[in-house]
Amino acid sequence: MTFSHRQSAIRRLIINADDYGLDLAVNAAVEQAHVDGVLTTASLMIGAPAVADAVERAQRLPRLGIGLHLVLADGPAVSPHETIPDLVDASGRFGDHMARDGFRFFFLPRVRRQLAIEIRGQFEAFRSTGLALDHVNAHKHFHLHPTVLSLILDIGRDYGLKAVRLPREPGTAPLLAPWLVLTRQRLRAANILHNDAMFGLSATGAMDEAALLTTIEKLPPGLSEIYLHPATRRSLTPTMSDYRHDDELAALLSPKVCDAITQRGIVTGRWADFVEHQ
């Protein structure tokens, strides 16, 4: 299927915050960056510690597109340990051995069954918030894994899935090229909207004003997504110890960034806005 945004030179842009719900500092930054800045969407970690606060904020921000940020690595599950014992430790947390876990997802039917339970559980928990499902992606882009993507597409149909991030940043990660091609083909075959380009991978945790302005200047035609990790403070987790969350928030609030988007005639919005025009 061909989407209309690929048939023109119009630049359409989604500006997203990942890890919404991780911490109150993230939630506060998301609200501020949306109300006073250029943020258009946020991806919710439905099992994260500050999810209740994140949902409460989102309910009063009707123009902020909220998606599901599936956590299958380096984070908490929503299913009890006894239901998915092969996926999580005794505390109910996923590890960060993605290569090993990816191998197990693909080759072990028992593990796949548990993975399906957890993915459905996260979709169900998102639906229970009452928020509209704007999009889906996975923490650390784990949805590039073919088994994970299959389950997202299959289970997502029951929850109104219409848009999925394609983690393709021009000029980076050549080893991922075959997986990106396969993912794009499968999303198109399933009639799921995806972006043409994504930015934020090579500068993860460092999307400051200069980086954001550079990205906007080189934004290609079609639908692009820029993702960031804004927060009102740093050192949120050990795996993000070098992230400059506050600089990313400042970039989202920057008048220079807002002006650059306006001057280039870039159309910003939620995934839902572009699904309507596919």
Q: For 102-137, what is each residue's pLDDT tens digit?
A: 899 999 999 999 999 999 999 999 999 999 999 999
Strands 41-44 and 136-138: unpaired
Q: What is the pLDDT of residue 253?
A: 98
Nearest to 232 by CA among 52, 27, 42: 27
d(CA 221, CA 238): 37
Q: For 204-236, what is each residue's pLDDT tens digit?
A: 999 999 999 999 999 999 999 999 999 999 999
Reported confidence tier of residue 5, pLDDT bands at 50, 70, 90? very low
The pLDDT mean for the chain works out to 94
The whole domain housing 264 covers: 4-275
Q: What is the pLDDT of residue 278?
A: 57
Q: What is the pLDDT of residue 254?
A: 98
| Residue 65 pLDDT exceeds 50 | yes
Q: What is the pLDDT of residue 277?
A: 62
Q: What is the pLDDT of residue 232?
A: 98
Report phi then psi at 148, rounded to 5: -65, -45
98-107 vs 109-127: helix crossing angle, rounded to 10: 110
In the chain, the number of structural domains is 1
CATH number at residue 27: 3.20.20.370
Q: For 137-174, what is each residue's pLDDT tens digit?
A: 999 999 999 999 999 999 999 999 999 999 999 987 78
Residues near 158 by beta carbon (within 8 Å), at least 6 away in sequence: 123
Percent of the chain with pLDDT over 70: 96
Would you give the DSSP letter of residue 97?
-
d(CA 219, CA 175): 23
Average the pLDDT over 29-33 and give the result: 98
Helix/strand/coil for 6 = helix
Cβ-based burial of 156 (10 A; exposed 0-12, middle 13-18, buried ≥19) = buried
Q: What is the pLDDT of residue 9?
A: 81
Name the pTM for this structure: 0.94
E strands, the chain, in order: 11-20, 41-44, 65-70, 75-76, 93-94, 136-138, 197-199, 222-228, 267-268
Helix/strand/coil for 45 = coil
Q: What is the pLDDT of residue 67?
A: 98
d(CA 126, CA 158): 12
Structure tokens at 156: 């997502």
Reported confidence tier of residue 175, pLDDT bands at 50, 70, 90? confident
Tally: H helices and E strands in the chain: 10, 9
